[in-house]
Copies of this chain bind each other. A is one copy, B any other.
Amino acid sequence: MYKHILFATELNETKSYIEDKVTLLQQLTQAKVSVIHVVEPIPNVYYGGVYGVMPGLDAEDSIGTTKILEERAKEVLLPLVNRLKLTAQDLHIPIGHTSEEILAFAEKENVDLIITGSHGVHGLQLLLGSTTNAILHGAKCDVLAVRLKE
């Protein structure tokens, strides 16, 4: 049914019920699973707050901040990758525009199902909603939007 599933996750979306669905779909379909999280290179205090770093305090410039965000994402997502019985090679943390990077990866790697959260949390609702929208409209494959619980 599906051969390559891409789990597109925010850092604050690493919720067990989404992981359970990814795991079950993997088991049911025997698909390869990749995990992707895109770091957007925008030095913004709120955005940094999600990652637990404060741009301008932890880094002197936006490149440094992006690097910190990337490291932080890896720190948060490696345990997820382990729980999904995947390896570090299955975790992808590109830097760029979220939906564009997800769609580019999906196309390049012949992904046939993108799994993503369908509703943001913690005030990022609008941003995450528009990402899901952009994925839905741009994807050349199926998209499973998992409804995030409040």
Mark A residues whose CB is within 8 Å of B. Answer: 1, 20-21, 24-25, 28-29, 118, 129, 132-133, 136-137, 139-147
Instruction: Give this chain's copy count.
Output: 2
**C-alpha gap A136/B29 in the complex (Å):** 24
**C-alpha gap A16/B56 in the complex (Å):** 55
The one of B1, B24, B137, B147 that contacts A129, using a Cβ cutoff of 8 Å: B137
The verdict on A142 contacting B146 (CB below 8 Å), with A21-B1, A24-B1 known, is yes
* Across-interface contacts of A141 in B (CB, < 8 A): 147
Q: Enumerate 19 A-B pairs (CB-CB under 8 Å) in ascending A order.
A: A1-B21, A1-B25, A21-B142, A28-B28, A118-B136, A118-B139, A118-B143, A129-B137, A136-B136, A140-B147, A141-B147, A142-B144, A142-B146, A142-B147, A143-B144, A143-B145, A143-B147, A144-B145, A145-B145
* Across-interface contacts of A29 in B (CB, < 8 A): 28
